[in-house]
Structure 1
Amino acid sequence: MGAAELDIGASPAFSAEDAARYRAAGWWSDTTLSDAVRRNAERIPGRVAYIDHPSGALTWHEFDCTADALAQQLAGLGVARGDRIAVWHGDSAAIHVLFVAVERCGAVVVGIGARAGIQEVTQILHSAQPTLLISDQQRSSSAAAATAQYPVTLLALSADGGILSLDVTAKPGVVREEAQLGPDDVFLINSTSGTTGVPKCVLHTQNRWYYFHQKAVANGVLRSEDVFLPAIPAPFGFGIWTSHTTPIYLGATAVILQRFATEAAYQAIARHRVSVLCCVSTQLTMMMADPGRAGYDLSSLRVVFTGGEALPYRTAAEFEELTGATILQFYGSNETGLLSGTTVGDSRQRRLRTAGRIAPEMAVRLFDGDRDVTEEGRGQPACRGPATSLGYLGAADHDTLFTGDGWMRIGDICEIDADGYLTVTGRTSDFILRGGKNISAPQVEAAAMTHPAIVVAAAVAMPDQTFGEKVCLYAELADHHTVDLAGLVDYLMAQGVSKEILPERLIAIDELPRSPGGKIAKGRLRDDIRVRTQTGR
């Protein structure tokens, strides 16, 4: 298939001098995830690597052999160093084996979220330009529809008799060691919500996640004997380190849920003696709201990593009392990696009411626009350091992501106290934070306005006790047209829109409020939905 150079489009987020310094400090490594899998297969061959709950398990020896077999199948198809391989697959042990197989070929994984719709998949394929799309059986028909709109070879990953294989007829090829990726090469491209309504592709090296892994191990005192339950899908930032990077580097066991549900999570914790739970705040809140928790032994839990949104203090404290676990929070983004984190040595007040102390290796500044307001202790954070990504493929939104002098931004407003602890107090970007997932309001609006009844739409955050925020859509309707929420959702689903951006409330009004400059006054809409929610209207 032939290698293709990645169009990074902008200078990397670190220089050669930075890289040398990160290595000298031990923050970056010269080994890869593939190396770690081989090491685990040699040292602890019989230890379980991944468990597909409720049944099915893969040892480190089996993981290594299966990754080799899949890599040989890919090589037989002509996959070469630099090729991009899109993976659209439900969460399972298989996806982690496949990621390592792609790495061993020297290719780059283009990770697509399991709940993505055909429109989003097609946009990602167009941006990342992979040569192959590998899907599971559940997504095969949708994958076929997506590849009809973008020319890419479609393959299915199956598990006949528990043996993973690709549906190919080509003979297995030779996987050359020199072709394999290094820790500073791009190994993963995943997507993040775009403020223009189009997902952007983020470029990841392994070393940025190796650094994150080390912080997690230090902050949570993690061990190879730990059993992880990562509740976040693998293609995304939180999911990459909790289900892929850290379990592999540690040689630990990870329990994978095909889809998060509170009962399934409790069953997995009790059955597999899970010691490390990784979830967003909403999932923790949902677990505490489930009265069925009383029927399970959760005493094995030792550490819970969470983040992505504000953590309800009372809920978190009750979970700690129920399980005896210590809840830790990180703060960062898919693009920047972590900026701060709490540790098992922090007080409960610090752990549950802040996002932790700024990591000293991650230089963090606060901005108001392009003005440095670090000394004031409140502003939009931006960083430089060993956890940052390489930015967006093709330098999309480069000026939005970076400050003028090259610091990588996050779209929040934060406060940093005198002891270096960070608290998120607001957002600068037009996102709705639902259950730890950033949902682009313009993306929701663009999808909704394809409906013939909707002339103009504005999506805003609707307060919700469980998810923090949900998607509320205000709309001006065309003359003599009507549409209700169910009809709009059915229409959008038929258009292949991702489930994550579907509106959860629709309010039709004669005219959307506008500012003197003619822009939609979303502040007034947010005030309106807040009042409606409080009064039950």
Structure 2
Amino acid sequence: MQFDAILFPPRRAAMVEKGFWRDRTINDDLDACLKQRPDKEALTAVSIERGEVKRLTYRELGDLTDRLAIGLSRLGVGRNDVVSAQLPNWWEFTLIYLACARIGAVFNPLMPIFRERELSFMLKHGESKVAIVPKRFRGHDYEKMLADLRPALPALRHVRVIGGSGEDDFATLLATERSPSDTALLTSHRPAPDDVTQLIYTSGTTGEPKGVMHSSNSMTANIHAYAERLGLGVDDVILMASPMAHQTGFMYGLMMPIMLGARAVLQDIWDPRKALDVIRSEGATFTMASTPFLTDLTNAVADTALGVPTLRSFLCAGAPIPGPLVERARKVLGTKIVSAWGMTENGAATLIKLDDDDERAFNTCGCPLPGVELRIVDNDGKPLPTGTSGRLLIRACSNFGGYLHRPHLNGTDKEDWFDTGDLAQLDERGYVKIDGRSKDVIIRGGENIPVVEIEALLYRHPAIAQVAIVAYPDERLGERACAAVVTKPGQSIDLATLVEFLKSNKVALQYIPERLLVLDQMPATPSGKIQKFKLREIVKAALPQTAPAARA
């Protein structure tokens, strides 16, 4: 595979000079752990699906990594070949990335929820040479799905199945015996710090995914700053129940623990009661997940009266955190709730600080990490003053190398500013407040509706568990707003009640949604981000059933 990561070379000299790019790879960090703490437990994988707990020391992790690297190389995998893995948070996931790094292959994580349509596009676009899947997970037959897809994927030479049989069984790759020549193989083909090491597809909140290319330097630059701000180190136990095929799980659940010499605890299926047990039994000190995870864990602790005294901080990202949730979670969990903002293209780029007031966690998404610059501009690219909402641009040491085979979509100017597609504003202290996606703006009769603010208010309604506001077409005003909600168990809400609630909170009449759609669940990515492009389709299809408010 030829990678066109054209955004890395122009900024290399500046990033190295400023100390953000350290020219280390995950190989260096794993080797350091093997030398300094070989018998420390590196990885605890709690699999609800398989009913097992797998524990690996750094020594065991290193040995299995080398075995798998040799096994992959004997399948013909070499430098810049793409290895795809569609796996839940199993210990094999970590192993595959580390093995790819040993031989210079590029790792392509794929969400377990992807099916034929998404997989056929991604595996073909990324020219994957090897795909690794579970035989079955949550009732789905992945082995059969890949078998059906293979005729249309000429680059896909091998499929290995965890829990499979015969030569296609993943376990055969780990049974590889090392020969004297393999020692050179494991050291001579390792990637350079600026080589593409990860190909990850955008989560698809706005449409067709794009292949994001990252190097060791772009990812580790972010992780070092992230860990430092959160006060994380070698003694921490990092719980990761967010999908590792998403940047959250990959960077902070797979890479960060090894870089710190810490311990990772993985959970393959989100179950809040199980997560509570895991936090207590394993002594987890930190986790990162989206808002629904925080809500569920808070409810589990409240329902059981079992505390999580070791959990110092919970980083919540992916969407603005409702104020009432922060207040309740802080009280129930006794844990610092950290808000953040980031993207697949640059990792978590802004975080609040541990000594910030809790109010900043629900009013902002934090301030930039070292090596990150933000700029708010108008539609003509002119900088806007503090407190004014506009297009959010980012220039960061962690910015990606570009979209695979789509450089025209890179969205980065000659000064390295990347257009995030978000609307935001900066306060006087440099903290960012996300106002929504530029494509999610609702303009009603020439008036911009502050979607995020209205959503935040509606989260305070006692009947509402989730809410998202999207536009629907209107012949006279161009667009009007529809509130889609998921109610709490046993609760209900109608449009009149919703309107009255917003009026009681002094919301301007033109900002109040004019239709209401109650859903059983929101269309969302595996990381919990609401897919508003899908929601708009649902609302449009349901328009005859969504009663309008009785006003012009």
The TM-score with structure 2 as length reference comes to: 0.75
CA distance in 2, matches of 1:269, 1:195: 30
Provide the residue aligned with 1:281 in structure 2.
Answer: 291
Closer, same or farther: CA 242–360 of 1 in aligned 2, 3 Å: closer
| 1:150 Cα deviation from its structure 2 partner | 1.4
Q: CA deviation at 1:51?
A: 0.9
1:216-235 correspondence to structure 2 within 5 Å: 216-235=226-245
The answer to whether residue 285 in structure 2 is matched with residue 263 in structure 1 is no
**Structure-1 residue corresponding to 2:157:** 153
Cα 1:121/1:460, change in 2 over 3 Å: farther
Tell me the distance in 1 between the aligned counterparts of 2:538 and 2:422: 17
Give yes or no for contact 1:266–1:293 (8 Å, CA) kept in 2.
no
* Residues 233-242 or 360-369, more deviating: 360-369
Question: In 2, are the aligned partners of 1:343 and 1:351 still within 8 Å (CA)?
Answer: no
> Could you report, residue by residue, the CA deviation over 1:181-226 in whole angstroms, capped at 9, with x for unpaired residues?
1221110101114588432111011222212212222211112111
Aligned counterpart, 1:382? 393
Distance 1:461 1:350, change over 3 A: same
The 1:373–1:260 alpha-carbon spacing in structure 2 relative to 1, beyond 3 Å, is same
With normalisation by structure 1, the TM-score equals 0.77
- Cα distance in 2 for partners of 1:286, 1:530 equals 31
Q: Tell me how far apart the structure 2 counterparts of residues 338 and 38 of structure 1 sit (CA, whole Å).
A: 26
Report what 1:23 is aligned to. Answer: 16
Distance 1:320 1:95 in 2: 32
- Helix, strand or coil for the counterpart of 1:411? strand
Cα distance 1:273–1:293, how it changes in 2: closer, same or farther (>3 A)?
farther
CA contact (8 A) 1:338 1:387 kept: no
Equivalent residues, number: 466
Say if 1:150 and 1:461 are closer, same or farther in 2 by CA, change over 3 A.
farther
The answer on 1:126 being equivalent to 2:124 is yes
Change in CA separation of 1:290 and 1:501 when aligned onto 2, cut-off 3 Å:
closer
Tell me if structure 2 keeps the 8 A contact 1:413–1:426: yes
1:91-240 aligned within 5 A: 91-138=89-136, 139-151=142-154, 152-158=156-162, 165-166=171-172, 174=182, 175-193=185-203, 197-240=207-250
Residue in structure 1 matching 2:350, options 340, 345, 350: 340
CA distance in 2, matches of 1:62, 1:112: 25
Give, as a single letter, the amino acid of the residue that structure 1 aligns with 2:201: S
* Residues 1:47 and 2:49 are matched in the alignment: no
Unmatched 5+ stretches in structure 2: 47-51, 137-141, 442-450, 456-467, 471-480, 489-518, 520-524
Letter in 2 for 1:43: Q
State, as a whole percentage, how many aligned pairs show the same letter: 21
Q: Counterparts of 2:264 and 2:202 in 1: how far apart (Å)?
A: 25
1:360 CA displacement:
5.0
CA distance in 2, matches of 1:158, 1:268: 24
Indicate yes or no: 2:322 matched with 1:319: no
Residues 360-399 of structure 1: pairs in structure 2 closer than 5 A: 361-375=371-385, 377-395=388-406, 398=409
Unaligned runs of at least 5 residues, structure 1: 442-458, 467-485, 487-496, 508-520
**Alpha carbons of structure 1 residues 358 and 176: separation in structure 2 relative to 1, 3 Å:** closer
Given candidates 24, 28, 32, the residue that maps to 2:25 is 32
Match of 2:2 in 1: 5
Equivalent residue of 1:371, what SS?
coil
User: How far has the Cα of 1:282 moved from its partner?
Assistant: 1.7
Deviates more, 1:524-533 or 1:116-125: 524-533
Asked if 2 retains the 8 angstrom alpha-carbon contact of 1:155 and 1:167, the reply is no
Residue of structure 2 equivalent to 1:329: 339
- 1:436-455 deviation digits (Å, cap 9, x = unpaired): xxx9x9xxxxxxxxxxxxxx
Q: Are the aligned partners of 1:460 and 1:525 in contact in 2 as well (CA < 8 Å)?
A: no
Asked whether the 8 Å contact 1:13–1:384 carries over to 2, the reply is no
Give how far 1:309 is off: 0.3
